[in-house]
Each structure stands twice: as C-alpha cells, then as structure tokens.
Amino acid sequence: MAQNVSDFLIDRLKCWGVHRIYGYPGDGINGIMGALERAEDDPRFIQVRHEEMASFMACAHGKFTGEVGVCLATSGPGAIHLLNGLYDAKMDHSPVLAIVGQQARSALGSFYQQEVDLVALFKDVASDYVLQLSDADQVRHAVDCAMRIAMAKKTVTCLIFPHDLQEEKAVESPARVHGTTFSGVGYQQPRIVPEERDLRRAAEILNEGKRVAMLIGAGTLQAGEAVIETADVLGAGVAKALLGKAALPDHLPFVTGSIGLLGTEPTWKMMQDCDTLLMVGSGFPYSEFLPKEGRARGVQIDIESRMLNLRYPMEVALHGDSRLTLEALLPMLRRKEDRSWRKKIKEWVKDWWEILEARAMNSANPINPQRVFWELSPRIPDNSILCADSGSTTSWWARDLKIRPGMMASVSGTLATMGSACPYAVAAKFAFPERSVIATAGDGAMQMNGNNVLITVEKYWREWANKQLLFVVINNRDLNMVTWEERILAGDPKFEASQTLPDFPYAEYAKTLGLGGVRVERPEDIVAAIEEGLAADRPTVLEFMCDPEVPPLPPHISLEQATNFMKSVAKGDKDRWRMIKQSVKDMVENVVPHKEHAHRGEE
Ligand SMILES: Cc1ncc(C[n+]2csc(CCOP(=O)(O)OP(=O)(O)O)c2C)c(N)n1
Ligand SMILES: [Mg+2]
C-alpha cells in the first residue's frame, strides 16, 4: 500500500508497466530512492556511472522494446547530465520519461544550492509534457499524463519532484472538490490509415511510374513484409535510412542499403535515375541525396504529420501507419510487367557488394576498418542486437554489416551523438538478456563514454543469460569522421590539436575490470579475435588497431568535394601520401573488375 508521494509514484509507474529505471542518486531524489528500496527491485534500479548513460539507456529501451524507457536523476547537475540522451530520444521518436529531483519548495526562488530552473531546462526537450509538481494531489495525473503522452507521441516527458514533496503523505484519490482531477492508467494505439480517395491518388502515381525507388526508415521496422510486397509489385529497389537498417534483411537483391554520406552507390544511382519516389516512415534529412526536385513524382507515408512533404515535394503525402497504409495500398497497385528497372537495380546491388568486399580486403596500415566490419558481419549470431556509435565507424556499420531477419539495430540517428553505442548495448542486454549484443564504437566514443559504461557492464553482466556482448572498438587514434569532414567538405588539412586522440589500451583496460579483452594488430588476426570474443564466457572488448587514412567516402564525390580534398592535401596534411594512396585504392574498386582484388589482403 502506498505511503508517501514517492511510494505512490513508484506504484503508479508499475501500473503503467515500468519494471526498470536507469539512474544515479543524489540528495535531490532521496525520497524516491527510499521508495525504490522499499519496492524490492520492481521496478529495478539500474545504477550507471553518469546520468547521460541513464538517458541513453532509457532511449535505447524505448527503441528496442517500444515501451517507455525511464531514467531518474537528482536535481541540478544530475538533471543537466540527462539532456543529451533525452534529445537523442526526442529526435529519434523514442518514448522516454525523465524523473528528476528539485530543491525543496520552501527554498525555491532563493538562489539555493543546486537550484536550477528545471522547467525551463526541460521545456524544449520535453515540450509535450514537463511538470514541476507542487502538491501531492498532482502525482496521479502527472504520472498518467507523462506516461500516456510519451507512449502516444513517442517522445520525451519529464516530471520534476521537489524533494520535500517526495516524502509527503501520498494522495491516491484527491478530494472530490472543484480543482481536482481523476485520471486513469492505459493507452491503446489507434489504427491510423489515410482516406481511400488519397490512397487511390497515391496508387495512381505509383502505377504510372516506370522506375520506382523506395526509401524506408525507422517507421517501417514493423512493416518489413508489407515493404517487400510493395517493392515487388512496383518492381522497385529499396534504400534504407540508418534507423531503418533492421527493417529489411540485406540479402534481398533489391535492397540497395544505406543512403546519404554513409550511403551506397546503388542507392545513389537509384535516386538519380528513378522517376517515382515512395518514401515510407523516414525523416532522412539530407535532401541532396534524394532525386532532384521535379525529376521524380513523389508519394510519402508517415505517421508523423510534421514529417510529411518536408524533404521532397510529394504529390500525395499520406498520414498513416506504414504497415497498415501499405497493406491498404497494395490491392490498388498493378504489378509492373516490365522488370528491367528492377533487374538493373539488382545488378547495381550485386556489383556493390563485390566492391565492398574488395574495399574491405584492401591492405591498410595496420588494419583496414572496413575489413573488421566485413568479417564480423557473417559471424554475428542470429537475433543479435546491433548498436552503432557516431563516427567513421557508422559508415562501415551502415554499409558493410548485412542485417539478417530477426536482428535489431539502432544508433543515434538524428542527433548523431557520440557515446551512445555502449549505453544502448547495456539497455539491449537488460531488455533482452537472452540475445547477443554487438556494439561498435570509435576510440573517441570509448574515451567519451564507453570506457565508463564498461564499469557498469562489469557490475551486471553475470545476471544476463546470454553472455555474448561484444564491444568492437576501432582504435585509429583519431576523431576520424571529423578529420575527413574537414578534408572533404571544408578543404582543410587535419587539425592535429583537435583530431588526434591519446592512445589508450581498451582491451587491456577491459581485462583489468574482469571482462574479456583482445587487441588485434594484424588483419590476419581479425577473424580469430571475433571468434574468441563470441566464444568468451563474458562480455569482451575487441580492439582493432585501424588505419585513420581509409576514407569513409560518400557514394559519389562531387567535383567540389574532390577539389576541396585536393586543396587539403595541398595545404600540407601531414598524412597526405598514405591518404591519397588509400583513397585511390578504394576508388579503383569502383572501376575495375573486383574479382582480381578479392584476395588483396593476403598480398
Ligand atoms: C557528443 C558529440 N561530440 C562531437 C561530435 C562530432 N563528431 C562526430 S563523429 C566524431 C569523431 C568520432 O571519433 P571516434 O569515436 O574515434 O570514431 P572515428 O570517426 O574515429 O571512427 C566527432 C568528434 C558528435 N557527433 N557528438
Ligand atoms: Mg577514432
């Protein structure tokens, strides 16, 4: 039976199905901590090293389970630390509730220690619902609103509890007087399907198209079958925005893979040559990778009305659930009898996989990071959950890892923040302890967050039924993605002071924590290390000493970019000669027959 406000808060969260809370203590939430202690592990409190990790974990919980992820932090500094993970959740539409403490109501407004205007601080990230409670009567409807809104809008909500309120007597049912409200628990997702007349207009455009390209995103993660059927009927190829990577497996011959700076060549060609674009459940931001305005007719499906008709002028923009809308559309579509467009796409895709293999097998100094991902891909256990970080590693993750049916995969897609892969991996393990989890991260991301997350892993790994948890670290002693952006986009040489990272023994460090660790310095040892990591009886860091001069080339390099690149070299980039050689090697793979290169690694 609930006793004080905090006990009631915890009880109410349980009514909403919350069984795990990621957080870090502080005297601003002592009342809530007391209630969690009394709740005897349901919900379970998971202790992190830094509040940002708690918000990343809550975000990943939301992404992988569809449930609301919950994080908890103290007033002032703890609350501030949550922000990055909360923005990650908001921008990728993951449902998250943040609960934070606040100074006592009696002290507010007195420039008190750790007194931060938390309503203002969270007003943007939790714009749909942020409330600083001032009365025990509010707790019931505050929790009900925060949970329902997070679920229904797939967004971030925030409750701020002054700490004197936390220990007040709970009010489970307010007095029946003017000025009180009586809320309830629960939310049921509606079916959102467009009007038939609009579906017919969309079908007409798609039926008239001769070369249809599909772009799918996170909104299609539950709509794989419907996407496959639609693409089949339309004779279309399908490109996947990063957050939609797990929506379709990569062995399908018409799946062109990723799009954008870390995209693939078949996607680029398909977007250039198509006459009709069908975009489903994707907010992919870079319009320059879509067809040129006017070159293709457009149809879009999205559940978020504000994402409609935003990146490309669509003739019909359908507001609806991806799966239901595609299913409603399918009977209106005519199967394209001319399959030549699809045949062409399949050829591009087949060629591209060969190019990727050849690029992966190119020698580098010492290890070509592409090869790490290429060798990892077929060895990833079935049903694994893949967590990527932000950096050049995201390009290899996007291009070289082949998703298989049953896998899940995510990354900080829209915020593109560094330091998310390792906390995501921990949340994946807690949510699905029977599944394997593979995090891939750069050395910068490890230094920023990953190394600390390993301490959390050491604290909890023994309780996970499946011990397979790999941290694949690409150690290139460089903030490589940005180094290449400086070179290619700005035409500047590498700025040593900002780009070069101090070395750190990631695998050794994992071992000192009691985890597994393997450091790989030669390409011929990559496979054995991956196998060792997968066979280990505990989570393992696989550290690959990689070459920072392997360019994460965009699928096409524009003349302007190539000119900038040459300028940066001319300006005296210290690594210029090796860099040029490596870029040329990768570019060559696009123009020569690949088979001759398949064994280049053994040269
Ligand atoms: C929190 C944050 N800070 C800075 C950036 C800008 N940024 C994007 S990628 C990157 C480099 C990442 O380096 P690393 O993790 O070593 O991966 P690499 O690119 O070397 O593979 C940086 C600094 C960012 N995205 N997020
Ligand atoms: Mg790096």
Strand partners, 21: 45
| Ligand 2 center from residue 591 Cα (angstroms) | 29
Contact present, 98 and 124 (Cβ < 8 Å): no
Give the pLDDT of residue 519.
Answer: 98
In a domain, 597, yes or no: no
Give the pLDDT of residue 517.
Answer: 98
Say which ligand is closest to the CA of 449: 1
Give the ranges where 306-380 is alpha helix by DSSP (H).
322-329, 340-361, 369-379
What is the H or E stretch that residue 519 is in?
Answer: strand 516-520
Q: Which two tokens stand for residue 431?
A: 């949510």
If one residue of 482, 484, 494 were mutated to test the ligand 1 pocket, choosing by the most ligand atoms within 8 A of its CB, it would be 482
Which of 13, 297, 338 is CA-nearest to residue 151? 13
| Ligand 2 center from residue 504 Cα (angstroms) | 11
Quote the radius of gyration of the chain (alpha carbons, Å). 25
Which of 128, 3, 8 is CA-nearest to residue 68? 128
Give the pLDDT of residue 492.
Answer: 86
Ligand 1 proximal residues by C-beta, below 6 Å: 390-393, 416-419, 442-445, 474, 476, 478-482
Beta-carbon count within 10 A of 315 CB: 14
Give the pLDDT of residue 485.
Answer: 86
Q: Rounded distance, CA 214 to CA 229, Å?
A: 12
| Ligand 1 center from residue 552 Cα (angstroms) | 13
Q: Which two tokens stand for residue 139?
A: 């707790």
| Closest residue to atom 20 of ligand 1, CA basis | 480
What percentage of the chain reaches a pLDDT higher than 70? 94
Query: In which domain, by residue range, is 442 found?
Result: 361-588
| Ligand 1 center from residue 482 Cα (angstroms) | 7
Say which ligand is closest to the CA of 388: 1
Number of helices (H) and strands (E), helices first, in the chain?
24, 18
Atom of ligand 1 nearest to the CA of 390: 9
Q: Could you read off the pLDDT of 17-34 as tens digits, one per residue?
A: 999 999 999 999 999 999
560 pLDDT band, cuts 50/70/90, is: low
Looking at the structure, tell me whether residues 335 and 403 fall in a common domain: no
Q: Could you read off the pLDDT of 244-268 as tens digits, one per residue?
A: 999 999 999 999 999 999 999 999 9
Q: Rounded distance, CA 554 to CA 264, Å?
A: 8
In a domain, 264, yes or no: yes
Give the pLDDT of residue 596.
Answer: 39
Q: Which two tokens stand for residue 477?
A: 């002693």
Looking at the structure, tell me whether residues 251 and 306 fall in a common domain: yes
Contact present, 336 and 234 (Cβ < 8 Å): yes
Q: Could you read off the pLDDT of 572-599 as tens digits, one per residue?
A: 777 776 776 677 667 666 655 444 343 3
What percentage of the chain reaches a pLDDT higher than 90? 89
Q: What angle do CA 462, 463, 468 make, to 5 degrees?
A: 65
Alpha-carbon distances, residue 463 vs 313, 417, 458, 538 (angstroms): 51, 29, 10, 11
Beta-carbon count within 10 A of 412 CB: 30
Give the pLDDT of residue 435.
Answer: 98
Q: Rounded distance, CA 59 to CA 599, Å?
A: 42
Which of 437, 480, 444 is CA-nearest to residue 460? 437
- pLDDT over 80 (residue 601): no
Atom of ligand 1 nearest to the CA of 416: 25
Which of 341, 378, 339 is CA-nearest to residue 356? 378
Q: What angle do CA 144, 149, 153 make, to 5 degrees?
A: 160
285, 312, 346 - which closes a domain: 346
Q: Which two tokens stand for residue 156?
A: 């971030």
3-state secondary structure of 113: coil
287, 319, 346 - which closes a domain: 346
Looking at the structure, tell me whether residues 401 and 257 fall in a common domain: no
In a domain, 175, yes or no: no
| Ligand 2 center from residue 405 Cα (angstroms) | 30
Q: Could you read off the pLDDT of 33-66 as tens digits, one per residue?
A: 999 999 999 999 999 999 999 999 999 999 999 9
Q: Could you read off the pLDDT of 435-465 as tens digits, one per residue?
A: 999 999 999 999 999 999 999 999 999 999 9
| Closest residue to atom 4 of ligand 1, CA basis | 418
Q: CATH number of the domain at 150, please.
A: 3.40.50.970
In a domain, 514, yes or no: yes
Q: What angle do CA 493, 495, 496 make, to 5 degrees?
A: 125
If one residue of 446, 479, 501 were mutated to test the ligand 1 pocket, choosing by the most ligand atoms within 8 A of its CB, it would be 479
Say which ligand is closest to the CA of 445: 1
For strands 156-162 and 212-216, give the pairing.
unpaired
Q: Rounded distance, CA 247 to CA 115, Å?
A: 44
Looking at the structure, tell me whether residues 448 and 575 fall in a common domain: yes
| Ligand 2 center from residue 568 Cα (angstroms) | 20
Q: Rounded distance, CA 378 to CA 435, Å?
A: 17
Q: Which two tokens stand for residue 96?
A: 């998250």
The dihedral sign for the CA sequence 274, 250, 416, 125: positive
Give the pLDDT of residue 129.
Answer: 98
Average pLDDT on 147-162 reads 98
487 pLDDT band, cuts 50/70/90, is: confident
Atom of ligand 1 nearest to the CA of 441: 15
- pLDDT over 80 (residue 524): yes
Average pLDDT on 75-95 reads 98
Contact present, 439 and 457 (Cβ < 8 Å): no
314, 346, 378 - which closes a domain: 346
Q: Which two tokens stand for residue 315?
A: 């003739």
Looking at the structure, tell me whether residues 130 and 260 fall in a common domain: no
Residues in the chain: 603
Looking at the structure, tell me whether residues 420 and 561 fall in a common domain: yes
- pLDDT over 50 (residue 600): no
Looking at the structure, tell me whether residues 25 and 82 fall in a common domain: yes
Strand partners, 544: 474, 520
559 pLDDT band, cuts 50/70/90, is: low
Looking at the structure, tell me whether residues 207 and 321 fall in a common domain: yes
In a domain, 188, yes or no: no
Contact present, 597 and 589 (Cβ < 8 Å): yes
- pLDDT over 60 (residue 115): yes
Give the pLDDT of residue 602.
Answer: 30
Looking at the structure, tell me whether residues 323 and 438 fall in a common domain: no
127 pLDDT band, cuts 50/70/90, is: very high
If one residue of 474, 481, 500 were mutated to test the ligand 1 pocket, choosing by the most ligand atoms within 8 A of its CB, it would be 481
Which of 526, 506, 490 is CA-nearest to residue 376? 526
In a domain, 518, yes or no: yes
In a domain, 411, yes or no: yes
Average pLDDT, the chain: 94
Q: What one-letter code names the amino acid at 438?
A: I
Q: Which residues contact 197 (CB under 8 A, 6 or more apart)?
A: none
In a domain, 352, yes or no: no
Q: Rounded distance, CA 587 to CA 596, Å?
A: 15
309 pLDDT band, cuts 50/70/90, is: very high
| Ligand 2 center from residue 311 Cα (angstroms) | 31
Looking at the structure, tell me whether residues 472 and 369 fall in a common domain: yes
Compute CA 177 distance to the chain's CA centroid, rounded to the nearest angstrom.
Answer: 47
Q: Rounded distance, CA 540 to CA 201, Å?
A: 53
Looking at the structure, tell me whether residues 579 and 460 fall in a common domain: yes
Q: How many domains does the chain have?
A: 3
Q: CATH number of the domain at 239, please.
A: 3.40.50.1220
| Closest residue to atom 25 of ligand 1, CA basis | 417
Give the pLDDT of residue 589.
Answer: 66
Looking at the structure, tell me whether residues 160 and 223 fall in a common domain: no
Backbone angles phi, psi at 93, to 5 degrees: 60, 45
